A and B are shown apart, each in its own frame.
Chain A
Amino acid sequence: MITDKDVKYIASLARIHLSDEESALFTKNLEGILHYVGKLEKLDVSKVEPTSHVLPLKNVYREDVVKPSLPQQAALKIAVEKHNGAFKVPKVIE
């Protein structure tokens, strides 16, 4: 059972401000979808290994040499707000 309080808590974890209307809608939607995915409980997976990735890839290393990378100015060109060569955000510490 998903409550309005659960939905508000998840929204705060996901950093999304929800209106009361959205909160009510998602409570209903999540309840329905979780009920549907609940069918996975029918399977015994106690002896099954999880697959987070299909390819049997190991860590890929490259030579430790410096290569050209994105110049600071090119990266900052798309900044919403910038200051002294950095991305500017609202005040964090009072």
Chain B
Amino acid sequence: MKLNELTAHEILDLIKQKKTSSGEVCQAVLDQIERSDENVKAFVRLNDQASATAKEANGPVPIPIAIKDNICITDQEVTCSSRILKNFRPPYDATVIEKLKKSGAVILGHTNMDEFAFGSSTENSCYGPTHNPWKLDCVPGGSSGGSTAAVAANEAIWALGSDTGGSIRQPAAFCGVVGLKPTYGLVSRYGLIAFASSLDQIGPITKDVTDSALLLNIISGTDSRDSTSAPFTVPDYTKALVNEVKNIKIGIPMEYFIEGIDPEVKQLIVNAIEMLEKSGAIFEEVSLPHTEYAVATYYIIATAEASSNLARFDGVEYGLRCHPEKMRKNPLVDMYEETRAVGFGKEVKRRIMLGTYSLSSGYYDDYYLRGLKVRTLIKNDFDKVFENYDAIITPTAPTTAFKIGEKANDPLSMYLSDIYTISANLAGIPAISIPCGFSKDGLPVGLQIMAKPFNEEMLLRIAYSFEQSTDWHKRKVRL
């Protein structure tokens, strides 16, 4: 097996036994990028210091990691895959980057994403689409599709993504890797360019569950620079990696197995449930009655928050600045309106428009406020189920990866591909997607596990137990 195909915990063992070095591992990853990224297009920019950093690395975890293009690294360009942030080089590190650097991690570069994380396919990027390593004419999912494709193609050992409505879990499912969205507030958002501040979380994308726990250990923890960071004492998540699910009570929400789910996906989830049942877990049907309202609620709340967050991109301080040829209103307003017209892509404009509409005078109560109230109902559904159950299991996405271009002209059908992941963000709970099989045409399928707030340990324990009796996570793409 090549070094770049190993997991971080395997690599760390080899380094401890002096059988390899961080420099060699980084070189294997860079060689893979050289070989396959021309076709996958996972990275939008590489860190030219990666190799030098790896050779000098002396921290405990010198693992090469890819970073989504919305997380700030000092003096490195970061653009959210948008023209409007061209040449933006933030003068500071995100908290997660600071933590990674301290632990010795080697930053490989930034990965492609849907512009400002608005999308589920990594097609809406000013750099063009990323391709699914399993089938290059398919999307990798999104919006963290560059990060999940990089890990699946062995162009990185680890990656960071961000998840506002499923943007870590859905692409993890489409690319056959492990993606975890932590509880809201567990990981600092300082230095993550905001999409929807009440929903966004940074999380780990890895090849197996053990690595997910290792990376979560590094990035989580309270941070005074993020006022929504939770005052929570972070446990050692590797202690949760126990192969034992006896008497753990897991709910299966019947609302998640209705029309629209691909029969192959459904069958693989049923198989996974049976496997966990054989290991002693107890499954029962439960109800999350407001599930059918989740997508609508999400698109009101997320776009409202986004329209407000993206108001800062106006050409004044940094990034792109444009002026129209002829004066329209006055020089300053013209500069704002032209910069945003040229700088934002179609989907970003569409979402800013929707968010501005639902926050505007006369519509606020009917849309935004009503959305916040339905959010309460959705959260209450989960609270009620978690009174009696330790976890909930569902598919991560209703289908496998779709073809590039297939949903490009139908925004609503694209939004519906997040139908199973959105509720966890609205409720603020942790959720993980792990590989649970492949479709007949060779595309990966993901199993989603959700748990109570701050009970990432339960997710990891169930996911780890499942992984011990399967080898889906060991299948490799050769590119």
Contacts and interface: CB of A to CB of B under 8 A. Distances in A.
Nearest to B337: A17
Contact of A79 (B318, B320, B330): B318
B92 A70 contact: yes
B450 to A, nearest CB: 14
A75 B353 CA distance: 30
Interface in B314-354: 314-321, 323-324, 328, 330-338, 340-341, 344, 346, 349-350, 352-354
B230 interface: yes
A39 B296 contact: yes
B293 A91 contact: no
Interface in A40-94: 40-41, 43, 45, 48-55, 57, 60, 62, 70, 74-75, 77-81, 87, 89-92, 94
B224 interface: yes
Interface string A16-36: 111100100110011011101
Interface residues of B, number: 71
Given A87-B317, A90-B323, A30 B375 contact: no
A58 B376 CA distance: 19
Interface in B348-383: 349-350, 352-354, 356-357, 360, 367, 369-377, 379
Given A10-B360, A33-B412, A55 B376 contact: no
A1 to B, nearest CB: 13
Contacts of A78: 87-91, 317-318
B330 to A, nearest CB: 8
Contacts, number: 161
Given A55-B184, A55-B185, A33 B341 contact: no
Identify whether the interface residues of B are mostly helix, strand, loop, or mixed: helix
B317 A80 contact: yes
Contacts of A11: 353
A30 to B, nearest CB: 6
Contact of A17 (B299, B341, B353, B369): B341
B126 interface: no
B373 A37 contact: no
B227 interface: yes
B353 A10 contact: yes
A73 B337 CA distance: 28
Contacts of A45: 370, 373-374, 377
Contacts of A14: 307, 340, 352-353, 356
Contacts of A16: 337, 340-341, 344, 349, 352-353
Given A51-B379, A74-B91, A78-B91, A90 B332 contact: yes
B446 interface: no
Interface string B72-97: 00000000000000011111100000
A37 B300 CA distance: 8
A12 B367 CA distance: 20
A29 B367 CA distance: 16
Given A57-B228, A78-B88, A92 B332 contact: yes
B357 A10 contact: yes
A62 B374 CA distance: 34
Nearest to B342: A17
Contacts of A91: 331-332
A49 B318 contact: no
B428 interface: yes
B373 A15 contact: no
A55 B297 CA distance: 18
Interface of B: 87-92, 184-185, 198, 224, 227-228, 230, 290, 292-293, 295-297, 299-300, 307, 311, 314-321, 323-324, 328, 330-338, 340-341, 344, 346, 349-350, 352-354, 356-357, 360, 367, 369-377, 379, 411-412, 427-428, 453
A36 B121 CA distance: 21
A13 B296 contact: no
A58 to B, nearest CB: 11
A33 B89 contact: no
23 contacts: A13-B360, A15-B333, A16-B341, A17-B338, A17-B340, A33-B411, A39-B292, A40-B370, A52-B372, A53-B198, A54-B185, A55-B185, A57-B230, A70-B92, A78-B88, A78-B89, A80-B319, A87-B316, A89-B335, A90-B323, A90-B334, A92-B332, A94-B330
B293 A43 contact: yes
A13 B336 CA distance: 11
Contacts of A39: 292-293, 296
Given A32-B411, A89-B335, 16 more contacts: A18-B349, A19-B341, A33-B411, A36-B412, A40-B293, A40-B297, A54-B379, A57-B185, A57-B230, A62-B224, A70-B91, A70-B92, A74-B91, A80-B321, A90-B332, A90-B335
Nearest to A35: B412
B331 A90 contact: yes
A10 B356 CA distance: 7
Given A26-B350, A48-B377, A17 B307 contact: no
Contacts of A29: 350, 411
A37 B375 contact: no
A18 B350 CA distance: 11
